Amino acid sequence: MLTLPLRYQYLIGSILIILMIATREYHFASLHNLPGASWAVFFLAGFYLRSNWSLPGFLALTWILDSSAYFTVAESEFCLTTAYTFLLPAYGALWAAGRWFATHYQFSWRAWMPLSFSLLTGAILCELFSSGGFYFFSGQFTETTFTEFWQRELYYFPLYLQSLLFYAGTAAAVHIPLALIHQSRYSRINAISQ
């Protein structure tokens, strides 16, 4: 299981908070043209941060950001409905997928299999809860059918998945060189001590 020193967890947690604030819709995303990072933030928090408080902490941050948008941006009323509660299991699924991957993580080329499984499973569950909850329970659609829901999924899910993979790939591009450096130092220390 991946367990980083606490100082690195604080650093990563701070970066994830900044990323969430900078890319949450109705805030700064339109200024920077960055895709929303919410899905990746929850996955990466589950993977890197050992405290179970990271899930409720990021859920609270999401609610604060969305609530502030509700009072300042007219279009945000469309999204904040009774179906908003479906974001709890949606984001929880991504966080749990990241936590699962952390328990199966070993720094090797074989890590791509559990990583791919956890990313895809978390993304599918998140999408079903968030979009399914919004489509069927928000009251924003007059007639709901499974056929229309799946048509909407074929359009929207790849966009969300693309954003998740962009940020997960960026995290991997930072993680791999740092892990190689750490592994090299650890090997030298072991060689010297023997």
Per-residue pLDDT tens over the stretch 128-155: 999 898 888 887 778 888 999 999 899 9
pLDDT above 60 (res 75): no
145, 105 Cβ separation under 8 angstroms: no
Asked whether the predicted pLDDT for residue 103 surpasses 90, the reply is: yes
**CB–CB of 101/130 below 8 Å?**
no
- Let me know if residue 19 belongs to a domain: yes
Residue 123 lies in a domain: yes
Whether residue 182 lies inside any domain: the answer is yes
Q: Indicate the average pLDDT of the chain.
A: 86
Dump the DSSP string for the chain. Answer: -----HHHHHHHHHHHHHHHHHHSTTTTHHHHTPPP-HHHHHHHHHHH---TTHHHHHHHHHHHHHHHHHHH-GGGGGT-SGGGGGHHHHHHHHHHHHHHHHHT--SSGGGHHHHHHHHHHHHHHHHHHHHHHHHHHSS--SS--HHHHHHHHHHHHHHHHHHHHHHHHHHHHHHHHHHHHHHHHHHHHHHHH-
Number of domains the chain is built from: 1
Q: Is 1 domain-assigned?
A: no
Within a domain: residue 52?
yes
User: Is 135 part of a structural domain of the chain?
Assistant: yes
Question: Of 55-59, 172-176, 187-191, which range is least confident?
Answer: 187-191
pLDDT digits (tens, 9 = 90+) for 46-65: 999 999 999 999 999 999 98
Host domain of residue 11 = 6-193
Tracing tokens 């060189």 back to the chain, one arrives at 177
Residue 40 to residue 42: CA distance in whole angstroms: 5
The answer on pLDDT for 190 being more than 90 is no
